[in-house]
Amino acid sequence: METEFTPWLSLAGGVLIGLSATLLMAMNGRIAGMTGILTGIIPPFSTDWAWRIAFLVGAIVAPVIYLFAGGEIAYAVPVSLPLLILGGLIVGVGVYYGAGCTSGHGVCGMARLSPRSIAATATFMIATAVTVYVVRHIAEI
Amino acid sequence: MQKLIYSGLIGAIFGLGIAISGMANPAKVLNFFDVAGSWDPSLIFVMGGALLTTALGYRLVFGAASKPLFDAEFHLPINKIIDARLIAGSATFGIGWGIAGFCPGGAIPALGFGGVSVIAFTGAMVIGIVLARALDGLRHKPVKAF
C-alpha cells in the first residue's frame, strides 16, 4: 500500500512532539516517553498517576478534536487483527525490558545524547527494518 | 490542579503531533521501513523535527531552571549501563513494531479515532507489559531455600 510523502506535515508533527517533550520536562521534570508514562498507570499504579492520566487523556482527545474541527489525519492499518495482537504482545514485553520506546529513547534520550538510548534506538530501528523486510518480502504475510 | 491541566495540554500537543506526523498511521510507519518496497521517507522528518526541538528545548530548560515548575527535581534516568536486557528488549520491541506498525507513542493518540485495530493492539501491549513485569518480578524474587 502506497502512502503519500508528507515532509512538511511530518516535520510540523515532529516539532510538536519535541515541544511537548520540552514542556513536560520544564513543568513536571519528566521524560515524555509513552512506555514510562503508560507503565505508571498499569496496576500497581505509581504514586504520581494523576498527571500521567491527564497526559494520556490529552493525547487521545486532541486528535479527535482536530478531526471534528475539520483537520485530516491519514490513517490505514494494512495488518490483520491476529498480527496486531501478536505485535502488541511483543511490543509490550520489549518496551518493558528495553525500558523505553520511540518517544522515550528515540526522542528524549537521543536528545540528551544518552548512550543507552542511542544503543536502544539503533537496535529497535534495525530490528524493525529487518522484521518489515521479512514480513513483506520473504514471508509475504 | 494546575499541574493536571498543564499535563493534559502537554499530552494534547504530543497527541496532535503524533497524529499529524504519521507516527500513528501503521501504513506510513511500515512504508518508512520498507526501503525495498513502497518506501515513504516521511518519518525521517518526524524524528528529525522532534529530536532537534527536544535537544534545543532541553538545553533551554536545563540552562534556565534548576528544577521544574511543578516538581522538586528533574527525573532523569540514572541507569547508564548498556546490557543484554536493554538490547534484547529493544530488539524485541522492534520486532513487534515491524509486525504491527504501531509503537506505544503512536498507538495511544490513535485510540480515539483508530477503531478496533488500535484498541486490540493497545490491549495486547498492556497485557505484554503486565506479563513481562510478572515474569521479571518472579525472576528477581530471592529463591527460598527448602
ipTM: 0.97
Q: How far apart are CA B135 and CA B112, in angstroms?
A: 31
Per-residue pLDDT tens over the stretch A40-87: 999 888 999 999 999 999 999 999 999 999 999 999 999 999 999 999
* Amino acid code (one letter) for A135: V
DSSP-based three-state secondary structure for B141 = coil
B128 touches chain A (CB under 8 A): yes
Q: Which of A13, A31, A116 sits opposite B17 (nearest CB)?
A: A13
Kindly state the average pLDDT of the residues A20-26. Answer: 98
Contact between B33 and A129 under an 8 Å Cβ cutoff? The reply is yes
Contact at CB, A79 and B133, closer than 8 angstroms = no
Kindly state the average pLDDT of the residues B51-56. Answer: 98
Cis amide linkage into residue A44, ω under 30° from 0:
yes
Per-residue pLDDT tens over the stretch A3-18: 999 999 999 999 999 9
Interface list for B 34-53 with A (CB within 8 A): 34-38, 40-43, 45-53
Query: CA nearest A113 in B: which residue?
Result: B55
Residue B145, pLDDT > 60, answer no
**Mutating which of A67, A75, A113, A137 best tests the B interface, going by the most B Cβ atoms within 10 A?**
A75
Q: What residues make up the domain containing A125?
A: 7-138
Residue A1: inside a domain: no
Q: How many domains does chain A have?
A: 1
* Cβ-Cβ contacts under 8 Å, B59 against chain A: none
Q: Sign of the CA dihedral A101, A106, A111, A116?
A: positive
Residue A20: inside a domain: yes
Query: Residue A23 half-sphere exposure, CB side, CA atoms within 13 Å?
Result: 18
Q: Which of B46, B113, B123 sits opposite A64 (nearest CB)?
A: B113
Interface list for A 11-70 with B (CB within 8 A): 11-35, 38-39, 42, 50-52, 54-64, 66-67
Helices marked H in B23-115: 26-33, 42-64, 84-100, 104-107
Query: CA nearest B98 in A: which residue?
Result: A128
Q: How far apart are CA A20 and CA A28, in angstroms?
A: 11
Kindly state the average pLDDT of the residues B81-85. Answer: 95
B66 touches chain A (CB under 8 A): no
Residue B144, pLDDT > 80, answer no
Query: Residue A96 half-sphere exposure, CB side, CA atoms within 13 Å?
Result: 22
Query: CA nearest A22 in B: which residue?
Result: B57
Give the pLDDT of residue A48. 93
**Mutating which of A3, A37, A52 best tests the B interface, going by the most B Cβ atoms within 10 A?**
A3
The DSSP code for B109 is: G
